[in-house]
Structure 1
Amino acid sequence: MNSKLFSTFFLTGLLLAACGDNKELTTTQQSSISRPNIILFVADDHGTDALGSYGNNVIKTPHLDQLATEGVRFNNAYCTTASCAASRSVILTGLFGHATGSYGHVHDYHHFSTYDKVKSLPVLLEKEGYATARIGKYHVAPESVYHFQEELKANPRNTVEMAEECKDVLASEKPFFLYFCTDDPHRAASTNPGQWDAPNSFGNKVDGYAGVETITYDPEEVIVPDFLPDTKESREEIAQYYQSVSRIDQGFGRLMQMLKESGKADNTIVIYISDNGMAFPGAKTTLYEPGMKLPCIIKDPFSKLKNTTTDAMISWVDLTPTILDMAKVEIKENSFHGRSFKDVLNVKEPEGWDQIYASHTFHEITMYYPMRVVRNKNYKLIRNIAWRLEYPFASDLWAASTWQEVHRNQKEFYGKRKVQDYLFHPEFELFDLEKDPDEILNLANDPDYKEVVDEMIKKMKAFQIQTRDPWLITWDHDDSLQGTGVNL
């Protein structure tokens, strides 16, 4: 999102009046329009650290790497919140979670849910004549907002089985939208709950999965990202994580084989992304780069660019308007917080794609830690709204042997960051990512960067106003967006 686009957002009225009205979309339902099929493949907690096409020469991901040779790989693709449910709400609405009530986890006692007037991507595509189907992880609510015509059933840890279940969708006479969501490589139940230093299984089983080759990794050979401690525990967990990613790759390969056999590959756009970064402390649930900078590989048979990369900065809030644009649905500019990056797939060095925003509020309901982020070119400003609190852990990340090894031994450092700095954040963190990609040197209080901080804060406040962020009140008790207390 850039400043020009900001000026059009929600200048009058409430968000729901804007995004909930069907008139925001100019529908074009003529049967003469030829629309592409679209597959949106979403992994669960998969970072750029574990893909061959993103530079990892250890992990085996040949099918996803093949997709990169056939399409465009994004070097600067970001989720808006590094938490599963909240991120998926953004992916499927094109709206920030703080504006739709999608503050955190949906299931069980968390119970966060999207406002019922929001129109999601599958609902909008169905109105345009698409056959919509989903398989695997859902993790959004209510169903009336995120309605798919068909729900397919399969083991979400067995992507080969999942692919096989999609056969009828690929044979659809209508253009189809397939939302394919794995449980891999999310953490699973502990490998040995009675042993704190046992690595998590990441869904891996000793006897494997039907139709899937079990690919294992030597912990001594895995690549430990700089933000993690290089310990026995980290390496063992990363090896399990890699194994889970390789299972994704096999299922993705089977799905692409089936698509080719259906004869529809030349009319099908394939998008591979993840909801947030790898499920290790320091990545998932944080808005540091390992948590929010994610894989995004797109094969669009109609785009000009193939086997290339782009540095365009995009965000998951851009996905819904982009997919609607690809589906030839005309949309008004202020229907979404994001914007279509369809044309980026046709331009080697696109202009105007150098700024994104992020918004995290909850993971689990017990993990309240609101953060807002603006990234402008090489600078990134994080505002930790609850900075006086100790940084909370997602329950599975606290139990991770990678963290427990550091915690139990009272070590000073967790990766390159001091444990004290990880647990207690300042209100503002400013990083120059070109000079400091690990986000260690906080420039927020450096007088040489005061103008940068002031300008970034100005952008952040404008973003909150124009996306109707209730947490605007945390700036000088500004209650202008707090509402009337009346249900609308």
Structure 2
Amino acid sequence: MKRTTNQLSILGILAILFTIIFSCAEKSEAQKSAISTKNLNRPNIILFVADDHGLDAIGAYGNPVIKTPNLDKLAAEGARFTNAYCTSASCAASRSVILTGKYGHATGSYGHVHDYHHFSTYDTVKSLPKILEKSGYETARIGKYHLAPESVYHFQKVLEANPRSTYEMAEKCQGVLTSEKPFFLYFCTDDPHRANSTDPSRWDAPNSFGNRPEGYPGVETVTYDPKDVLVPDFLPDSKESREEIAQYYQSISRIDQGFGKLMQLLKDSGKADNTIVIYISDNGMAFPGAKTTLYEPGMKLPCIVKDPFVKKKGYVVDAMITWADLTPTIIDMAKIDPKPYKLHGKSFKNVLNEDNPKDWNEVYASHTFHEITMYYPMRVVRSGNYKLIRNIEWRAEYPFASDLWAASTWQEVYRNDKEYFGKRKVKNYLFRPEFELYDLLKDPDELKNLAYNPDYKQKLDELIVKMKTFQKETRDPWLITWDHDSSLQGTGVNL
């Protein structure tokens, strides 16, 4: 049978289309295979973030009273950082840094998100969960979120559980732990954040820190005698302070049990040998003198990293890192190129393999708001043993977070008109100079301000230069507070 020219042309076109379709199908299968192979070589990552857990209350960091066996085990199997810092000692602002690798002053994340505070990250910012999702990770979160907008901080899975029960939270994560894809689990507790007042009718009643008489399912209630707790030097050693610290300890022991449950479920999933686990807190303990301040108790925090691909176990890392370094580190661990994202932090992945890491002796911090009524911008540079704090709003009285003001630990001092709060005079806590310069080696409690000592003028000037450079490089709007420097301002005109 003879075929017409038109028929031959149609057959030719069909043959070409079939070849293209077949080729695309082959290519698609090859791409899927390549992604699958790539995923097999990528670790799972768990980022566990406690809420207001200071360096003072973990056995692995030297507290002999508190019971944290599961966190201590993590430290024994991994690396314990001793110079890890948040960059803003406030929940929401700190979490924005954790998940973007950028300082809050550069992303619009100036303070709290919830209620009337309403701070929100710019919608152009690329967050860690979205970067990981784009690269083939399954992303999931559970517990405290405290970020906005959701379009920036999007997770593929949102798991629901009581954020005061890490045990229940852990159980709800089983589906993520058995994912066929590499996963990133963002696990955030409400503990040991302060809760509503234990007894609103009594100013001297200790806060419950989420503890309750009936306890929590699956959790053994661990209580502490106030006389046995360790009172940090920056707090008054009072009945009220000890009672609140005992509640704080109890809340942390609940975290520890939930963390242990999560680690057991991870082991049962068969993925423990391919999962990196990071434990941190967003800021220091929820007591005046720590949380919301950029003194050491507010910003120097626990950071424990267990990387199964690192042979060393139970070792201490003294490299200075900040939470701005977490996103670049996790991206690095996930084998993703961080360059396109222009992050402020840098990866400390290689530090885990080095005995004496170099060039990790300088960190910066930036705090602007806690609650919207707490405007008190501070910028910090720590270089070696020296730390400079600039209190930009230094003429104002230092503001209190509402829950810290109500704390019986503070009220006992305030109502009795006491001169000292811990080692620091109350008037010096409330009214601060523009500059505070400390030698942390000689003065770890940050009591002797060297900023106005002529012998330290050269060091002060050196750190001021570093601070200004940091603000310029990270496009900090508060650069204008140095001699009305408006170099970062736009024209105010939309072109």
TM-score, structure 2 normalization: 0.92
Query: What is the correspondence of 1:114-263 to structure 2 with a 5 Å cutoff?
Result: 114-263=121-270
Instruction: State the partner residue of 1:479.
Output: 486
Looking at structure 2, the residues matched to 243 and 30 of structure 1 have their Cα atoms a distance apart, in angstroms, of 45
User: Could you tell me which amino acid in structure 1 is paired with residue 73 of structure 2?
Assistant: Q
Instruction: State the partner residue of 2:66.
Output: 59
Instruction: State the partner residue of 2:376.
Output: 369
Structure with higher Rg: it is 2
Instruction: State the partner residue of 2:304.
Output: 297
1:42 aligns to 2:49 (yes or no):
yes
1:467 aligns to 2:452 (yes or no):
no
Instruction: State the partner residue of 1:268.
Output: 275
1:328-372: CA deviations, max 9, x gaps? 001218710000000010011101100000000000000000000
1:410 aligns to 2:417 (yes or no):
yes
Is the CA contact (8 Å cut-off) linking 1:46 and 1:276 kept in structure 2?
yes
Instruction: State the partner residue of 1:282.
Output: 289
1:453 aligns to 2:464 (yes or no):
no
User: Could you tell me which amino acid in structure 2 is paired with residue 207 of structure 1?
Assistant: E
User: Could you tell me which amino acid in structure 1 is paired with residue 158 of structure 2?
Assistant: E
User: Could you tell me which amino acid in structure 2 is paired with residue 142 of structure 1?
Assistant: P
Q: State the SS of the aligned residue for 1:255.
A: helix
Aligned-residue Cα RMSD (Å) equals 1.0
Which of 73, 86, 89 aligns to 1:79? It is 86
1:32 aligns to 2:37 (yes or no):
yes
1:131-168: CA deviations, max 9, x gaps? 00000000000000000000000000000000000000
1:182-229: CA deviations, max 9, x gaps? 000000000001100000000000111111110000000000000000
Looking at structure 2, the residues matched to 62 and 260 of structure 1 have their Cα atoms a distance apart, in angstroms, of 17
Deviation at 1:485, TM superposition (A): 2.6
Looking at structure 1, the residues matched to 214 and 493 of structure 2 have their Cα atoms a distance apart, in angstroms, of 56
- Unaligned stretches of 5+ residues in structure 2: 1-33
Deviation at 1:484, TM superposition (A): 2.6
Instruction: State the partner residue of 1:422.
Output: 429
Is the CA contact (8 Å cut-off) linking 1:305 and 1:348 kept in structure 2?
no
Q: State the SS of the aligned residue for 1:397.
A: helix
Q: State the SS of the aligned residue for 1:74.
A: strand
Summarize the Cα distance change of 1:121–1:487 in structure 2 as closer, same or farther, 3 Å threshold: farther
Runs of 4+ in 1 over 4 A off after TM superposition: none
User: Could you tell me which amino acid in structure 2 is paired with residue 319 of structure 1?
Assistant: L
Bigger Cα displacement from structure 2, 432-441 vs 302-311: 302-311
Looking at structure 2, the residues matched to 487 and 311 of structure 1 have their Cα atoms a distance apart, in angstroms, of 47
Deviation at 1:240, TM superposition (A): 0.2
Is the CA contact (8 Å cut-off) linking 2:126 and 2:341 kept in structure 1?
no
% same residue: 78
Looking at structure 2, the residues matched to 405 and 224 of structure 1 have their Cα atoms a distance apart, in angstroms, of 15
Is the CA contact (8 Å cut-off) linking 1:274 and 1:294 kept in structure 2?
yes
Is the CA contact (8 Å cut-off) linking 1:268 and 1:300 kept in structure 2?
yes
Which of 321, 325, 329 aligns to 1:322? It is 329
Looking at structure 1, the residues matched to 97 and 338 of structure 2 have their Cα atoms a distance apart, in angstroms, of 17
Is the CA contact (8 Å cut-off) linking 1:322 and 1:339 kept in structure 2?
yes
Looking at structure 1, the residues matched to 64 and 220 of structure 2 have their Cα atoms a distance apart, in angstroms, of 19
Is the CA contact (8 Å cut-off) linking 1:344 and 1:350 kept in structure 2?
yes
1:296-353: CA deviations, max 9, x gaps? 0000001232110010000000000000000000121871000000001001110110
User: Could you tell me which amino acid in structure 1 is paired with residue 129 of structure 2?
Assistant: P
Looking at structure 2, the residues matched to 45 and 140 of structure 1 have their Cα atoms a distance apart, in angstroms, of 16
Summarize the Cα distance change of 1:351–1:373 in structure 2 as closer, same or farther, 3 Å threshold: same
Number of equivalenced pairs: 460
User: Could you tell me which amino acid in structure 2 is paired with residue 342 of structure 1?
Assistant: K
Looking at structure 2, the residues matched to 442 and 461 of structure 1 have their Cα atoms a distance apart, in angstroms, of 20
Looking at structure 1, the residues matched to 330 and 490 of structure 2 have their Cα atoms a distance apart, in angstroms, of 32
Looking at structure 1, the residues matched to 267 and 224 of structure 2 have their Cα atoms a distance apart, in angstroms, of 30
